[in-house]
Amino acid sequence: MAQLVKIQDYISRYQIDLARYPTQFVRLKKSQWERIKRQWELGEDISEWKHVDNEAESEAFEEKERFAFLKKMFTSRQKEATEDVEEIEISNELVSDEDSIPEEETTLTFEPNIVFAPQSIHELKRMFIDQFFHFQMKWASSTLREKSYVDPRFMRDSLLRTLLQTLPDNYLLFYYPILQIRKAPIELDVVLMSPTECICIKVLEAENQAVYVGSSDRFWMKKVGTRDAKVLNPTINLGRMESVLSQLFKQENIDMPIRKVVLTRNGYFDYPGSPFGVRFVDRRNYHEWIEQLKKVSSPMKHMQIRAAQTILNTVQTTSFNRDIWQQAPQPTED
């Protein structure tokens, strides 16, 4: 499963320590999958499997976070991010047993909720990754201290779910992140970062069976049945994204190639002589494109982490303090 690093301007756990959370993510997913797979194979009572997911069920989760926070307050102060991104090393297995952080262990809780008895390992796996998607959304919208309001449409977003559930762990996903460049907010589209390249994606999926007739003009023609309509040339947005990211990477001496993709899963492109450096992915070659992305088996790279951190350093964040911040007693001096 790809890792959801940032959604729009939501607070993200990856902003706390990008050197730590990718490996924590992989370890958590692997251990929980092996646990429920073993329990399922042994035929254990599924009623014993519990899951903390939505707000109504999260009291125990929040209480654990309160304890972890208070523990930090009344012990020696520690820096939240002590590892320098420049010094990180990620092994070929992506996970190191030396990365455990006891004081944050309670914030990594994920226990899948088996709502029916899976009849096959395929059903079990599908149930697991569907519920892990909700857990990813929690990581991409909250930290121990802060929380962001999540637009319900993201929970129903089929492209977001597909990218996360289809691509391997070594991909980092920025989903319509909002950056602050010279005090001005700039919303990008989809940024997918593999170990070897940064992929900027512009999505066109308003109507099924739409045909987008491309050209070098500012507007394209969209044909749906007998109706025609103008749409802004998607390569304009892609060019802007490429320009913004190129400048950020150049400032930090990051050598990461940037690829540009125009995507429609439910339509078609008609563009004789496509522009150089832009790949068009539609219903005819979508599955081929996804399969190519899935074949990237390289472990996460140092340059990939640096590039992702550079983007995170410029993101805009809108969040509010958790109640445990506001209600926790302040330590008194003797």
Amino acid at 229: A
Q: What percent of the chain has a predicted confidence (pLDDT) above 70? A: 74
pLDDT at 80 exceeding the cut of 60: no
- Min mean pLDDT across 48-52, 79-83, 325-329 is at 79-83
Buried b (16+ CB within 10 A) or exposed e, 76-89: eeeeeeeeebeebe
Query: Which pLDDT does position 85 carry in this prediction?
Result: 31
For residues 21 and 111, which has the higher predicted lDDT (pLDDT)? 21
Q: How confident is the model at residue 45 (pLDDT cuts 50, 70, 90)?
A: low
Q: How confident is the model at residue 35 (pLDDT cuts 50, 70, 90)?
A: confident
Interval 265-307: pLDDT, tens = 999 999 887 778 899 999 999 999 999 999 998 899 999 999 9
Query: Which pLDDT does position 110 carry in this prediction?
Result: 58
- Contact status, residue 4 vs residue 80, Cβ threshold 8 Å: no
Q: How confident is the model at residue 216 (pLDDT cuts 50, 70, 90)?
A: confident
Interval 86-100: pLDDT, tens = 332 333 334 333 333
- Min mean pLDDT across 5-19, 41-55, 65-79, 319-333 is at 65-79
Q: How confident is the model at residue 191 (pLDDT cuts 50, 70, 90)?
A: very high
Query: Which pLDDT does position 43 carry in this prediction?
Result: 77
Phi/psi for 307 (5° steps) reads -65, -45
Amino acid at 263: L
pTM of the model: 0.78
Mean residue pLDDT of the chain comes to 80
- Average the pLDDT over 10-23 and give the result: 91
- Average the pLDDT over 155-175 and give the result: 95
Query: Which pLDDT does position 319 carry in this prediction?
Result: 86
Interval 242-261: pLDDT, tens = 999 999 999 999 999 999 99
d(CA 224, CA 216): 21
Q: What percent of the chain has a predicted confidence (pLDDT) above 90? A: 51
Interval 170-189: pLDDT, tens = 999 999 999 998 889 999 99
pLDDT at 34 exceeding the cut of 60: yes
How far is C-alpha 271 from the geometric centre of its chain's CA atoms? 31
Query: Which pLDDT does position 144 carry in this prediction?
Result: 85
List alpha helices for 273-322, DSSP H.
286-294, 302-312
Say if strands 190-193 and 198-203 run parallel, antiparallel, or are unpaired.
antiparallel
Q: How confident is the model at residue 320 (pLDDT cuts 50, 70, 90)?
A: confident
188-191 long-range contacts (CB < 8 A, ≥24 apart) are: 188/241, 188/244, 188/245, 189/237, 189/238, 189/241, 190/159, 190/163, 191/241, 191/245, 191/311
> Which residues lie below 8 Å from residue 272, measured CB to CB, with a gap of 6+?
none
- Average the pLDDT over 151-177 and give the result: 95
Query: Integer distance in angstroms from the first to the last C-alpha of the chain?
Result: 50
Phi/psi for 293 (5° steps) reads -65, -40
For the purposes of burial, counting CB atoms within 10 Å of the CB of 159, is it exposed (0-12), middle (13-18) or buried (19 or more)?
middle
Interval 100-132: pLDDT, tens = 333 344 344 555 555 667 788 898 888 888 888
Q: How confident is the model at residue 40 (pLDDT cuts 50, 70, 90)?
A: confident
pLDDT at 63 exceeding the cut of 60: no
Q: Which helix (DSSP H) or strand (DSSP E) does residue 29 occupy? A: helix 21-42
Nearest to 219 by CA among 207, 237, 205: 237
Amino acid at 26: V
Q: How confident is the model at residue 42 (pLDDT cuts 50, 70, 90)?
A: confident
Q: Which helix (DSSP H) or strand (DSSP E) does residue 64 occupy? A: helix 59-73
Buried b (16+ CB within 10 A) or exposed e, 42-69: eeeeeeebebbbeeeeeeebeebbbebb
CA neighbours within 13 Å on the CB side: how many for 333? 0
